[in-house]
Structure 1
């Protein structure tokens, strides 16, 4: 019989590797499996049901702030002066991609 402590230990071992999203999805998969098992009569309860409170909260997504109109000329000059790739062809592609994304 799988207990909540077993599932928690498994999820925490994945989380210890730094894979927070994978650990969260792992708990969800275990719950789905047990919900199915309950519906067909193979199990009586989901051991992962109440583990959500014990998992670390998702880190908040922080998007880069937008570039203001007054900062745009400086950004275009910086992109134009980009010299990060060794091959001139890739440098041009990277510059074009950077300009396209803005």
Structure 2
């Protein structure tokens, strides 16, 4: 019926997408926990590690959704604006976490 739509949307195993969404939710909760715990030992280190893991999972989600994103080394922090852009793009495509 809509042949070009099938071409645009990559075939993704729904269970893989669900697994990524669950992991994104867990990592988002971890980031919030670290940010909201004043006096946490090595808080800055924990926050960087949690954000790096979240950004890596966000990149995986973007790849599954067929979203292009600029290549970035895992050791390079993703700017907040870029992170929000990726989250909004995923959300507009029905991803929730």
Q: Same fold (TM over 0.5)?
A: no
**Higher helix share goes to which structure?**
2
By relative contact order (CA 8 Å, sep 6+), the higher-ranking structure is 2
Provide TM-score, normalisation by structure 2.
0.34
